[in-house]
Amino acid sequence: MKVKDILREKGSAVHTIGPDAFIADAIQVLNKHKIGALLVVDEAGTILGILTERDILRVCETKALQLGQIPVRQEMTKDLLIGLPDDDVNYVMSIMTQKRIRHFPIVSEGRLAGMVSIGDVTKARLDQAEFEARHLYDYITGKYPA
């Protein structure tokens, strides 16, 4: 299974925010859409970074009263790992697990194609395993000829 299969099912919409928005604005967007991360993009749509719940918690520890004054660019994660639509789901899951990341932007031909979460990847793997188990069961019990 490929990442593009996940995106085909879930869609390619990604919530973004500009680098000059404030952390308080980002919190409102995250809460409104019930999501855990926002890609930070410039006016041309170039990915500059990602702002996650973890990033916001780090800010809250020392600057909770200033969330309306701290720009996203100051607290976003800048070094992103980027996936491709043709990446294998097992590969992506391995990278996400090893690097302890929960949101993985997908880029195709230099443009944002979507974003997958660890939940999306886990669900895809479970669905695939369930399908394979059912197919093997049907084969073993004689529902399908060899």
Which pLDDT does position 144 carry in this prediction? 65
CA 28/CA 34 separation, integer angstroms: 10
Cβ–Cβ < 8 Å for 57, 37: no
Q: How does residue 146 score in pLDDT terms, banded at 50, 70 and 90?
A: low
Q: How does residue 112 score in pLDDT terms, banded at 50, 70 and 90?
A: very high
Q: What is the bridge-based pairing of β-strands 103-108 and 111-117? A: antiparallel
Q: For the purposes of burial, counting CB atoms within 10 Å of the CB of 80, is it exposed (0-12), middle (13-18) or buried (19 or more)?
A: middle
Supply the DSSP symbol for 109.
Answer: T
Cβ–Cβ < 8 Å for 145, 30: no
Q: How does residue 135 score in pLDDT terms, banded at 50, 70 and 90?
A: confident
**Domains present along the chain, CATH in parentheses:** 3-140 (3.10.580.10)
Q: What is the mean pLDDT of residues 119-146?
A: 82
- Give tens-digit pLDDT for 58-87: 999 889 888 999 999 999 999 999 999 999
Q: What is the mean pLDDT of residues 134-140?
A: 82
Measured from the Cβ of residue 135, the count of other Cβ atoms closer than 10 Å reads 12
Please determine, for residue 39, whether its predicted confidence score (pLDDT) is greater than 80.
yes
CA 72/CA 74 separation, integer angstroms: 5
Q: How does residue 35 score in pLDDT terms, banded at 50, 70 and 90?
A: very high
